[in-house]
Amino acid sequence: MSDRADPEIILERRGAAGLIILNRPKALNALTLPMIQAMHAQLRSWETEEAVTRIVVRGTGGRAFCAGGDIRQIYELGKAGCFEETLAFWLAEYQLDAYVKRYPKPYVALIEGVVMGGGVGISVHGDIRVASEKYMFAMPETGIGYFPDVGMTYALPRLPGRTGTYLAVTGARVGASEALALGLATHSAKAADFDAIVDALAQGDDIEATLAAYAAEPPGTGPLVTERSLIDECFSADSVHDVLGRLDVAASSGASFAAETAALIRSRSPTSALIAFEQMRRGVDLSFEEAMLIEYRLCTRVMRGHDFYEGVRSVIVDKDGKPSWQPATLDAVDMAAIATAFEPIGGSEPSFA
């Protein structure tokens, strides 16, 4: 049965729980505008429904919690010059993320598989993020000519050390054990136990006791733990140029992780890498609402640029993995234009309070 034959999102009250199920498994549960609008409206309804004492969000299919927004659709709208439609999507998504951040009832995300982009926005800002053994986090936007959004201007700079800057600029992936170490995830459990967890939460059982009963040690560890000192040393530099310089020095001494990280950064959109680094620099001093407004401003500029469309073409449309970034190098990027992208857009700006 195709995704089209089924509802894209399932919203139901199950006992004490308001249950949200993202239901586009063939699209890795990527968010569409109707899904975002339906979820936001239902959360508002459940906020005042006394019988609903907690929210539970999960995805179907086993491969992904949510791989982000429906980027291909946004790409097609933007290529057609339908900028108002593209901005309507981003604004609705960002306002939903902000609502999740301030939601007054316990909000539990059960994360199996991929959680990227928009999926991060509707999970990481909630109270509880349960990572399964298949958990895989990434904010890979610099690889498609975009920037780490959905509140990452606020969240990533607050991760330990310089790990947030590393994740923002590189778009690298994070497994369950690393996510727990960094605080991206708050709990872990086996994916096979998610149904039982939902049942217990629907019965009104204590949330922490339930998650403790199903706690499972995630497998292995990863470079954000084992290479933490190198990450902190290199990504504490004052610019992307200097980050690369430090990585190159470490690589020349035989540090393979440093060499791989430098190569990864050099494959990203230079403009996006510079924006992401500046987000991390500024974000540590911003409120969540200020950070979301900054991201909306960036979005209005980036969506009218070149690299987003070239990045999506390369990764999602043609899948040739050969983006032609403009400008093609860090040195060629106009730093004044980067600074301007963070400035007010003029006229009335949206509120995320």
Residue 4, pLDDT > 60, answer no
pLDDT at 221: 82
Q: What is the mean pLDDT of residues 61-66?
A: 97
Whether residue 351 is contained in a domain is answered as: no
Whether residue 250 is contained in a domain is answered as: yes
Catalytically annotated residues: 69, 118, 141, 149
Side-chain half-sphere exposure of 132, counting CA atoms within 13 A: 21
Q: Collect all residues with Cβ–Cβ distance below 8 Å to 351 and sequence separation of at least 6.
A: 289, 293
Whether residue 353 is contained in a domain is answered as: no
Local confidence band at 328 (pLDDT 50, 70, 90 cut-offs): very high
Is residue 20 within 8 Å of residue 42, measured between CB atoms?
yes
Whether residue 348 is contained in a domain is answered as: no
Q: Virtual CA dihedral for 343, 269, 143, 159, nearest 10 degrees?
A: -50
Whether residue 349 is contained in a domain is answered as: no
Helical H runs in the chain? 33-47, 71-79, 83-101, 118-121, 152-155, 163-170, 176-182, 194-202, 207-213, 223-226, 228-235, 240-252, 256-267, 270-283, 288-302, 307-312, 335-341
Is residue 296 within 8 Å of residue 344, measured between CB atoms?
no
Q: What is the mean pLDDT of residues 112-135?
A: 97
pLDDT at 120: 98
pLDDT at 346: 84
pLDDT at 3: 45
Distance of alpha carbon 341 from alpha carbon 297, whole angstroms? 7
Q: What is the mean pLDDT of residues 257-282?
A: 98
- If you search the block for the tokens 């500024």, which residue do you land on? 282
pTM above 0.75, yes or no: yes
Whether residue 346 is contained in a domain is answered as: no
Whether residue 44 is contained in a domain is answered as: yes
Q: Give the count of domains, the chain.
A: 1
Whether residue 25 is contained in a domain is answered as: yes
Distance of alpha carbon 192 from alpha carbon 189, whole angstroms? 8
Residue 287, pLDDT > 50, answer yes
Q: Which residues pair with 262 in a beta bridge?
A: none
First to last CA, the chain: 40
The range of the structural domain enclosing residue 168 comes to: 3-341
Residue 79, pLDDT > 80, answer yes
Q: What is the mean pLDDT of residues 264-281?
A: 98
Give pLDDT tens digits for 288-305.
999 999 999 999 999 999
Give pLDDT tens digits for 174-229.
999 999 999 999 999 999 999 999 999 999 999 999 999 999 998 888 889 899 99
Give the domain CATH number at 40: 3.90.226.10
